[in-house]
Every structure is written in C-alpha cells, then in structure tokens.
Chains A and B, each alone.
Chain A
Amino acid sequence: MAVEIIMPRLGESVVEGTLVRWLVKEGDHVEEFDSLMEVESAKVNTELPSPATGTLLKILVEEGTTVQAGKTLGWIGDPGEKIPKGSSGKGHEPSVDQVHESPIKIDLETTENTAVQQKDLGFISPVVAKLAREHHVDLSLVKGTGNNNRITKNDVLEFVNQKGKTEPELAAWETPGEGDLFRPTELQFPERFKSDYPDIQRKKEPETHINKTVQSERGDQILPLSKMRKAIAAHMVLSKQTSPHVTSVMEADMKSVSDHLSKNKELFARQGVRLTYTTYFVAATASALREFPLVNSSWTDEGLLLKSMVNIGLATSLEEEGLIVPVIKAADSYSLSGLAGIIGDLVSKARNHQLKPDDVQGGTFSITNHGTAGSLFATPVINQPQAGILGIGMIKKRVVVIEDAIAIRPMVYLSFAFDHRILDGSTADNFLANVVQKLENWQ
C-alpha cells in the first residue's frame, strides 16, 4: 500500500512552504523518519522525515516549488508498486488566482517560482459544495479536519466565520500579535490583498515602480532573491514605515561581567554550557524589561499591549544567506546557566537550519549583537510589532576616567532603537540606564 508524502503545516499559522531539495532520489530506498527533503518556510529551513519505509515511487512536486500544507508531494511504497489513480500530479497545474505575490514585486521572471499548486481536495460532500457556492469560498484554502482531512461542513462554516471576523481589520501590519516574525500578513494571506482594498494596492505601486526603473548593463548579474531575502526586505520596509525610530546610545563598563565570566567559564563548561557575554546581555535586558513593561509592549489601536511574557529574540547571522531571530521564551525565568544553555542551543539550531517556525515566533523584544564584526554602535531596525531593539557593540578596552583617575576598562556601547509612538526619550533612557547599571554591578 503506497503511502502519501504530505506537506505538513510547519507551525502555527504557517500555511505554505517551499520544497528546497529532495534528499532521496525517485526509485531509492528510504527508512521511516530518515530525512526525505528539505523545506523552507518563511525564514526557516528544515528537513522533513520520511513518513514510511520503502521506495520513493514518485516525486510529484519539483524542487523550488512553493506548496500549501496538505499537498501531496510524492509517494512511498514497495518497488514497482503502482501509485493510486488520480495522483500522478496531472491536473495540479497552478491556477492563476492562487499565485502568491509578495508585496515587493521584483520584475524578474527567475524569482516567480512561488506559484501554489492546486491541492487535492478529497471528497466534497453535497452540503460542502453548496456552502462553498453560497459563500464564494475557495475550498483549496479551507483546512479539512474530517476523515483523511476531508473538508467538513463545519470546516467551511468556520472558514466563513473567520473571514467575516478578520476582513474589517485589514491594516495588517498594525495588527500586533504572535504571527510569523519577518512575515507580513500580506504574504500569509494574499487572498485578502487582492482587489478589494485599494489602500494597500496603492502602497505597493511606488515600490514596484522604483524597482522597475533599475537598469541593468552588460556584465551585471542577477542574484535571484531567496525567500529569506524577500522576507527580510519586506519586513524592514514595513518596520521603517510603521515605527518612527529613535536610537539612544549609552556605554557600559563590562569589568564586573568580564570578571564574572572568566571566573565561571570553566565551571559552566564542565556542565556542558558555553557562557558568553551574550548570556549577560540577555539576562540584564530580560530583568530590565520586567521593570519597564512599556518597553515590552506592542502598539495597537485599542492601546498599548503590555506583554505578560518576556520573550527575547536574538538576531543571529547566517552570513550572506541572511539572518534569523530565534526567540528565547520567558527569558526572565532562567538562571544564568539555564539561559546560556538555551542560547547555545538556539544559535546552533539557527546555524544548522534546524529551527522550527515556532522557535522564531512570539518575540516581545529583540537583541542584535552587531559588535561581533567590530561595529561599535548602530541604529538597528525594530522587529515588528515590538517596541524596541537593543544593539550590542564590540567590547573594547578603552581609557576611561573613574573617580578622577584614568583606568583601562572593557567598554561597550549599547544602542537602543525604540518606537517613538510607544516610548519617549526619558522612559527609553531610563530603561537603557537600567540595563547598564545591571551590567556594571554584576555579582
């Protein structure tokens, strides 16, 4: 009995992903749970395990194709086994109205491989067909919860209800919440942004225009945009358009931290935990965020949403590929060694493309460690819908004056970029001073 390989939901609210690479060739043997393919969703790359042991009979989805969760990607079975009828991949031509367009449109054909293929809807009961017709529901967008993921009457009704609820609040980037980081809702719910909302359409036009005017000359090369690159671009533009950024810089004397670090590094290492300066910055920030709830908030039209959790996103460079922001959940609840362990774990996962979408969601504040390459201070861009981001410069020994004496101390500049809609200079500076104070008096 051949087993279907189905595109899973890679996380809450993640409805599609791109098949990057098949790791097994058609006709080859694969063990259950062995890695079968590499998929990319929003910013996360992950390997998917095989659902069964057997021969990869048929690959239905080419590498580089973006598909919705629930789509059949291929079949596994006994060698030579026939795959069930109607599953040959024919009739899965991408339909025009399902092509997902990113808000920043680059007019290059090479990047237009994001067509979503039509998924097999399974059995459509009479009442489901009737409701879909009455409410103009595209059934390929409805998640089925019945037997074999059949779309049930309730699934359609819920879909219709949801649509009714969410359509009025369309200023998507003003909707705070726990959604995909670096993934504007236009990308997640492109059907909402099709035609009925002229405001959004208008916003897109100038960008398209600007990009179209770029002239290429002979010898120039086109580097195709990766999904991550597009997502970062969209989010950065969005953030700058949304929040009036202000950056304030303070310097901190890292001597106490440095002493503490050199005293404990070995001890922690023996427990298998790598203690770094980052651990201290995260710990100090988490604790300061508790004292300044406004800094740990989001802007909403109803008011400032003060987050109950302190979830700190840690921007992690993936070199030229881009960057990713794994989130340390409840960062204020850990001991220093606990925190060091989690940071080490998340960073290594990030560099090995093993983060799950849920690992990069739910952040309430971000830290970017731009000093690793020598940068002293910076003006980082806020990770929406958060209220601020803390930039850490390079720790460098500098001559400082302490009680009218000249001393050499390891100093660091902390750049705090904040959303001036939410925070004013004095609150922001008090927060930043609090972080500095915690670092300078580390025990």
Chain B
Amino acid sequence: MPEKIMVEAIRDAMDEEMARDENVFIVGEDVGQRGGVFRATVGLFDKYGPDRVIDSPLAELSIVGVGIGAALYGMKPICEIQFADFIYPAFNQIVSEAAKMLYRSGGAWNVPMVIRAPYGGGIGGGLYHSQSVEAFFTHVPGLKVVIPSNPYDAKGLLKSAVRDPNPVIFLEPKKGYRLIKGEVPDEDYVVPIGPAKVTKPGNDLTIFAYGMMHYYAIQAADQLEKEGVSAEVVDLRTLYPVDQQTILSSVKKTGKALIVHEDNLTGGYGAEIAAIIAEQAFTDLDAPVRRLAGPDVPAVPFSHPMQEWFMVNTEKIFKSALDLARY
C-alpha cells in the first residue's frame, strides 16, 4: 500500500469521487488553474476541466451560496474555503440555509454539499490563517462536522462526505497536510461518518482528541507508556453527530478523561465531551474530567515564541495526562 501525505489522500478522494459521479464538482478560490494554495486540487482542473473545477471570486458567501443552489438541483458540490478563518462571510448561508433546508422544506429538499476548510495554527499563519472554527458548527443541527487525523481517514471520510445527503463541514488540519503520512489504498473505500476510533488502547486514562491534536496525543501516549502509564487514545473523527458510545465505553474502562483541542478553551468543543461524560458516566469517573485546550486569547499569535505558547503540543498533553494519571 502506498504511503501518502494527508493532502494527497484528500486530492485522491476528490479525484475518485469526480470520476465516479459526474455531479461532483469543486468550487473555491485558486482551486482551478493554481491547484489550490495547499495543492489539494492539483491536476484536477486539467483532468475535469473548468466546468467541474471552478475558480471562484474572493467571496466565500457566494462559494457556499453557489454550492447550496447547485446541491438543491441534484449536484454534489465540494466547496473549498481557502482557510477556515475565511468562512465567516458564508456563515449565514451555512447556518441559516444549508443546515435548515431539509427541515424547512418538510424533507422535500436536501443539500448534499461538502465544505472543505483547512484549519489550525502552528504554521506561522498568524491571526487570519490559524483559526480553529469547529465549535461554531458543532452547535448547529442539520450539519455534520468531520475532522480527519490521518491520510487514510481523510480519504475515506471525504468520500463519505461527498456521498452524504447532508451538508458536511470537512475541516482539515493544515499543519498535518504534509507532516502526517500514512498508508492509503489506491482503491475505493469509505470511512463512515459517525464512529470514533480507539487508536491506541490503554487502561489508566483516555485522551480524546481529533485532527492535529490526535497526532500529538498518540506521541504523548507513547511517552506515557515509558513512564508506565497506559493511556487510551480516542480519535473522535466525527464531531457532530458525535459517537457517544465509544466515548462512554472508554471512560467506563479507564475512569479518567483528558479532552484535547487546539481551539480556545471556553465554549470549545471539549466542553461538550466533558458534559456527555459528566452526565452519562459520572459513576465511572475516578478523577475530574480535564480539558487541555488553546488559551482564551483572541488569536493564535504571529510571533513565533508566542505561537508556541499558544499551541497545544505533545509535551503539554504528556504533562497533563501524567498529572491526571497520578490523580
């Protein structure tokens, strides 16, 4: 099985889905001739032509609006938002239109649309190119929110997203685009939207993570093993709707939960996981549920040392997990 980087696996998924279904098309800034600023659509313009790989104006509202309209007419749009930070102009379209369409039409109209957006910091991107936006969308029924942590899942989940009849927010950890490698089959396969995955079994505590933080969580768990701490790592993969069963059965086993995300702590996605555990696994807990998240500051700083201060990394996860294990 060939080893690929994450962004290649994402490109493969789109290529295969476009070849499989002629209704699938891509729209976004620089996705056509340029092949995307992260090279996620490279070669697709040449292969499928300007009608299926469309360079849009710098107007995210219209990218998503075009996607919704096309989806209502049976197309399968893949909208690329160049950086997740730019998604806010389209927020109204996503929340008030795409998410509610099926509901307000009494089940008559659905929006089978994917919105891809690279998120996260640690790449020297500063205020406008480092944001994590998942918590804004996991609050909205009618959407699905997916974040892959590795190339295999990225391809399989994106293909599932394209085939899903609902609008799917597909957030890609941009720091991992070229950093995270893994084996990816050339053939067609899907990873279902919904199930989380225990990526490293353990007994002493569970680390819940997704995207880039999952990558670090696995490294931290390996270090913890050397300290004699057996950490279980759960890759949530689908944030909304979340796989409660996997979360609860892991907490039942370990009795301790550390939830990790890069997004700011307050009102962040981890609060939801903590609440699920507190409500449904209280009597399985051997320690308070802990969250390790980005600090509550307005942005990921541009200055390199300050960016490092902001970012959750392997060492911070290791320390936090060790402390919890020894509780």
Contacts and interface: CB of A to CB of B under 8 A. Distances in A.
B contacts with A: majority SS:
loop
Interface in B274-327: 282-287, 326-327
6 contacts: A127-B283, A127-B286, A128-B286, A130-B283, A147-B327, A153-B286
Contact of B326 (A127, A129, A147, A153): A147
B255 A125 contact: yes
B282 to A, nearest CB: 5
Nearest to B323: A147
Contacts of B287: 125
A134 B286 CA distance: 15
Question: Which 7 residue pairs are nearest across A and B when measured between Cβ atoms?
Answer: A153-B286, A153-B255, A125-B286, A130-B283, A127-B286, A126-B283, A127-B255
A146 interface: yes
Nearest to B203: A154
B161 to A, nearest CB: 37
A150 B286 CA distance: 10
Interface string A116-129: 00000000011111
Interface residues of B, number: 10
Given A125-B255, A153-B255, A146 B327 contact: yes
Contacts of B326: 146-147
Contacts of A146: 326-327
A147 B284 CA distance: 19
Contacts of A126: 282-286
Interface residues of A, number: 12
Contacts of B282: 126
Nearest to A125: B286
A147 B282 CA distance: 20
Nearest to B251: A127
Contacts of B286: 125-128, 152-153
A44 to B, nearest CB: 32
A152 B287 CA distance: 9
Contacts of A130: 283-284
B285 A127 contact: yes
Contacts, number: 28
Contacts of B285: 125-127
A127 B204 CA distance: 13
A152 B204 CA distance: 11
A contacts with B: majority SS:
helix
Interface string A124-142: 0111111000000000000
Contacts of A147: 326-327
B231 to A, nearest CB: 14
A18 to B, nearest CB: 32
A333 B285 CA distance: 52
A56 B52 CA distance: 83
B327 A150 contact: yes
Nearest to B288: A125
Contacts of B327: 146-147, 150, 152
A150 B255 CA distance: 14
Given A146-B326, A147-B327, A154-B204, 19 more contacts: A125-B255, A125-B285, A125-B287, A126-B282, A126-B283, A126-B284, A126-B285, A126-B286, A127-B255, A127-B283, A128-B286, A129-B283, A130-B283, A130-B284, A147-B326, A150-B327, A152-B327, A153-B255, A153-B286
A100 B284 CA distance: 33
A128 B255 CA distance: 10
A341 B323 CA distance: 47
A127 B283 CA distance: 5
B121 to A, nearest CB: 33
Nearest to B254: A153
Contacts of B204: 154
A154 B326 CA distance: 11
Interface string A196-210: 000000000000000
Give the residue among A127, A146, A153 with the most B Cβ atoms within 10 A.
A127
Give the residue among A128, A150, A152 with the most B Cβ atoms within 10 A.
A152
A395 B299 CA distance: 91
Interface in A315-362: none
B13 to A, nearest CB: 41
B229 to A, nearest CB: 12
A153 B204 CA distance: 10
Nearest to A152: B286
A125 B289 CA distance: 12
Contacts of A150: 327
Give the residue among B255, B284, B286, B287 with the most A Cβ atoms within 10 A.
B286
Nearest to A147: B327
Interface in B188-216: 204
A129 B285 CA distance: 10
Contacts of A152: 286, 327
A150 B327 CA distance: 8
A125 B288 CA distance: 9
Interface string B221-240: 00000000000000000000
Interface string A149-160: 010111000000
A130 B283 CA distance: 6
A125 B281 CA distance: 12
Interface string B256-290: 00000000000000000000000000111111000
A158 to B, nearest CB: 12
Interface in A95-129: 125-129
A329 to B, nearest CB: 30
Interface string A286-299: 00000000000000
B274 to A, nearest CB: 15
A181 B327 CA distance: 36
A150 B256 CA distance: 14
A129 B286 CA distance: 9
A153 B285 CA distance: 9
Nearest to A156: B286
A12 B320 CA distance: 33
B181 to A, nearest CB: 36
Interface string A14-44: 0000000000000000000000000000000
B184 to A, nearest CB: 39
Give the residue among A126, A129, A150 with the most B Cβ atoms within 10 A.
A126
A129 B283 CA distance: 8
Interface string B154-171: 000000000000000000
A11 B37 CA distance: 67
Interface in B177-193: none
B37 to A, nearest CB: 48
Contacts of A128: 286
A88 B326 CA distance: 28
A402 B283 CA distance: 84
B186 to A, nearest CB: 45
Nearest to A129: B283
Interface in A221-279: none
